[in-house]
Amino acid sequence: CYCLSYGYSKMNISKSGYRVFSANSTTACTELAKRITERLGVELGKSVVYQEANRETRVDVKESVRGQDIFIIQTIPRDVNTAIMELLVMAYALKTSCAKNIIGVIPYFPYSKQCKMRKRGSIVCKLLASMLAKAGLTHIITMDLHQKEIQGFFSFPVDNLRASPFLIQYIQEEIPDYRNAIIVAKTPSAAKRAQSYAERLRLGLAVMHGEAHHSESDMADGRHSPPLSRTTTGHTGLELPLMMAKEKPPITVVGDVGGRIAIIVDDMIDDVEDFVAAAEILKERGAYKIYIMATHGLLSADAPRLIEESAIDEVVVTNTVPHEVQKLQCPKIKTVDVSMILAEAIRRIHNGESMAYLFRNIAVDD
């Protein structure tokens, strides 16, 4: 009986039709992959990803993937470019090993901020989408893209999952007296996301207006060269209307936050100077507690120290990006696990089931 059951179990594993691999071998980055595979009840695929002495990326897949659906989980650590190469090399290795479909599970999609043309810059996010397609990916599962229009850069399907149900659940269960809270948009561009949270939580909405720093769109880029003072001879060309220079107002708050819990929502928190400045303004306006809710906790540079020294009471992010080191440096940082929805997305895609259930009660602007 034991032999029969053992053989039946092995047969199910070998004919399951899909494998889940991690494109990064570091402990911090494989943590999410292990959580996902535990929920799916499968083992993490056997592979080795490492850097050679000259920093070239090498991937060795240790088992057969022929004719199977392969899911590559890649969380993005601080070394973004190495993580991208790991994903590309693994995808190409699986493609040449005759995998049926190669689905990238990339909870935080890198370079997503570079999705618009910036003067003489480039749309790097579009370049990355083309590289992933060329490497062999046929589908991507991601979460809370910086701009939803990024999905149009890809020549294959993209499932952009949402973390808001998990963050809203955290607010309801972990923030005492959340009924006395107000949802705050740090900038007018974040107002739609904040409004979605406010409507589902039945809370008020406040919007912050003004900038505490110079945005990248205002950086000097050489457009005034040759210098305006330079004299020219001959025909001077067309005289265009003089453009009025933008003048940024100081930060103001539209909405009453006095005596309330202020909850700032955003898609990511990277450089925290803006959040720290916003928290100070909200404190001045009478908010007695300040929470930051974001999907992706990049927390670059000295973000943990700045958060610890600021008026912010708690920063809540999901585990789409490894940030265990930052949590050790700052106890104000809390983590919400989203492995459940990623595992369910993998299961549904492999079984050919509808993904609509994962987007129920999700607003378009969320």
> Do the domains 165-211+251-336 and 18-161 match in fold?
yes
Give residue limits of the domains in the chain. Answer: 18-161, 165-211+251-336
The domain made up of 165-211+251-336 has a fold known as Rossmann fold (3.40.50)
Q: What is the pLDDT of residues 58-100, one digit of tens each?
A: 999 999 999 999 999 999 888 899 999 999 999 999 999 999 9
Going edge to edge, which strands form the sheet with 289-297? 252-254, 204-209, 181-185, 261-269, 289-297, 314-318, 333-336
Mean of pLDDT values over 277-286: 95
In this predicted structure, what is the pLDDT of residue 14? Answer: 40
Q: Report the predicted TM-score, pTM, of the whole model to 2 decimal places.
A: 0.86
User: With bands split at pLDDT 50, 70 and 90, how would you rate the model's confidence at 200?
Assistant: very high
Mean of pLDDT values over 237-245: 74
CA distances (Å), origin 166, targets 175, 267, 280, 335: 13, 13, 27, 11
Count of positions (residues) in the chain:
366
Per the model's pLDDT, the better-predicted residue between 93 and 241 turns out to be: 93
In this predicted structure, what is the pLDDT of residue 233? Answer: 52
In this predicted structure, what is the pLDDT of residue 85? Answer: 95
Mean of pLDDT values over 303-307: 95
User: With bands split at pLDDT 50, 70 and 90, how would you rate the model's confidence at 9?
Assistant: very low
Asked if residue 333 has pLDDT above 50, the reply is yes
* Low-confidence winner among 27-36, 164-173, 264-273, 335-344 (lowest mean pLDDT): 27-36
In this predicted structure, what is the pLDDT of residue 48? Answer: 92
In this predicted structure, what is the pLDDT of residue 240? Answer: 76
In this predicted structure, what is the pLDDT of residue 4? Answer: 41
In this predicted structure, what is the pLDDT of residue 212? Answer: 60
In this predicted structure, what is the pLDDT of residue 217? Answer: 45
Asked if residue 291 has pLDDT above 60, the reply is yes
Q: What is the pLDDT of residues 163-173, one digit of tens each?
A: 999 999 999 99
Asked if residue 274 has pLDDT above 80, the reply is yes
In this predicted structure, what is the pLDDT of residue 234? Answer: 52
User: With bands split at pLDDT 50, 70 and 90, how would you rate the model's confidence at 237?
Assistant: low
DSSP symbol at 44: B
Q: What is the pLDDT of residues 258-267, one digit of tens each?
A: 999 999 999 9
- Mean pLDDT score across all residues of the chain: 87
CA distances (Å), origin 366, targets 186, 255, 280, 346: 15, 21, 26, 22
Per the model's pLDDT, the better-predicted residue between 359 and 27 turns out to be: 359
* DSSP letter string, 96-129: HTT-SEEEEEESS-TTTT--S--TT---HHHHHH
pLDDT over 70, % of the chain: 88
Task: Answer for the pair 171, 263: CB distance below 8 angstroms, yes or no.
Answer: yes
> For domain 18-161, which CATH number applies: 3.30.465.10, 3.40.50.2020, 1.10.730.10, 3.30.1300.10?
3.40.50.2020
Q: What is the pLDDT of residues 107-149, one digit of tens each?
A: 999 999 888 887 788 899 999 999 999 999 999 999 999 988 8
Half-sphere exposure of 1 (CA within 13 A, CB side): 0
